[in-house]
Amino acid sequence: MNSKPRISMRDKHMQASPIRKLVPLANAAKEKGVTVYHLNIGQPDIETPREILDAFKKIDVKTLAYSPSQGEAKYLNTLVKYYEKVGVKGLKTSDIVVTMGGSEAILFAMMAVCDPGDEVIVFEPFYTNYNGFAVMANVNLVPILTHADDGFHLPSSKRIEEKITSKTRAILICNPNNPTGTVYKEKELEMLAGICKKHNLMLLSDEVYREFVYDGERHVSALALEDISDRVIVLDSISKRYSACGVRMGCVVSRNSELMNLIVRFAQARLSSPYAEQIASAESVHITDAHMNEMIEEYKMRRDIVYEALEKIPHVICKKPKGAFYVIAKLPIKDADKFAAWLLTDFRHDNKTVMVAPASGFYATPGHGGDEIRLAYVINRAHLKEAMSLLAEAIKQYHKIESK
């Protein structure tokens, strides 16, 4: 009998990342000497603060041992100070569990809130990896569409409540939002708080981009919703805040002690987060406001470059993002997935091209996002201007190809 070994049904549901699935095509182009500008992934080019980098060099131990499963005490105390600085008062170290990036934080939260087959409401377009985490946790995502016309803000409470079933356990938001750049208003969070209280739900708030708000917008943390403090779980990471994606330091934050006790047991099962990374990340307490303000201003200028360039391309539709460092753009083409691949395989201008993320992977509802892309403005301004010029030329050429 020559039957193949069986693998799990997750193989049928685990989608390829729209952010990374075209990497082989990009690598093939680079091997041919083509310059590829990466607007597909939120990998900042801004330097990681010296406070963190130098701390790695100063680690003086004879053995790199396991750290406590909840996290190193020094780093937990740094996180308490950080949250107090951004306006979240009264947190204790017992309200925080250190995770391996925001990714593990999301997975832990889903597993803590849901049993297999339970449902989590999300607002699409949403961070594509929520799909993957849901598959891992055997959770069903229930998408509710938001629209560019109103800046991808949340729909009415009526539309949200229509999606609630006996299986619904939580509502998941990203604020500021990846991929739309939307910053939710305080009244929107209060609306969600009311829904969660009324229907006995948890509110999962991914706040990785907390610092990145522009044009006078103000980020309001879900941890400020005192009326549902035991229903709030914040998912966080230093990856974007400190340009430290490779450090893989995240955390789960909640004032619900019963839930946090469960998450600690999840953390015990994977033993610990990396010791050296926690010791280095603890030094982030010394990063100055001046550094952070300069970084935010830099991203704002990059945002302006991208948005102004998109506005000049005929028939492109987008809303000016107010936070994070992404924008969703609707293009005058039929298939953004094919366009994104074509950029890497066929399009060349002065032997240069640009890599984008097709937006269909940021939706769970079939048929949505097929003519949209997500752009990440995470490269320097000179390269960003050139990349946007390339994109404009590519759209013009591809539109002609599709029209034949």
State residue 329's pLDDT score: 97
Q: Indicate whether 263 belongs to any domain.
A: yes
State residue 9's pLDDT score: 83
Q: Which residues pair with 234 in a beta bridge?
A: 205, 253
One-letter amino acid of 271? L
User: How far apart (Å, rounded) are the C-alpha atoms in residues 275 and 105?
Assistant: 17
- Is there a single domain that holds both residue 189 and residue 273? yes
Tokens standing for residue 398: 């591809």
State residue 1's pLDDT score: 53
Residues of the chain with pLDDT under 70: 1-2
- Is there a single domain that holds both residue 125 and residue 238? yes
Which of 286, 311, 327 marks a domain boundary?
A: 286
220 lies in which domain range?
Answer: 50-286
- Is there a single domain that holds both residue 241 and residue 308? no
- Is there a single domain that holds both residue 269 and residue 124? yes
- Is there a single domain that holds both residue 349 and residue 394? yes
Q: Which tens digit of pLDDT belongs to each residue from 244-281?
A: 999 999 999 999 999 999 999 999 999 999 999 999 99
State residue 115's pLDDT score: 98
- Is there a single domain that holds both residue 241 and residue 187? yes
How far is residue 15 from each of residues 135, 244, 334, measured CA to CA in Å?
9, 26, 21
- Is there a single domain that holds both residue 119 and residue 237? yes
Nearest to 35 by CA among 300, 343, 287, 266: 343
Q: Indicate whether 331 belongs to any domain.
A: yes
State residue 2's pLDDT score: 67
Tokens standing for residue 37: 């500008």
Nearest to 77 by CA among 55, 56, 94: 94
User: How far apart (Å, rounded) are the C-alpha atoms in residues 327 and 306?
Assistant: 8
Q: Which CATH number fits the domain that encloses residue 59?
A: 3.40.640.10
- Is there a single domain that holds both residue 43 and residue 160? no
- All residues at 6 or more sequence positions from 284 whose CB lies less than 8 Å from its CB, including other chains: 49, 51, 52, 78, 82, 238, 242
Tokens standing for residue 343: 């950029």
State residue 249's pLDDT score: 98
Q: Number of structural domains, the chain?
A: 2
User: How far apart (Å, rounded) are the C-alpha atoms in residues 276 and 72?
Assistant: 10
- Is there a single domain that holds both residue 281 and residue 296? no
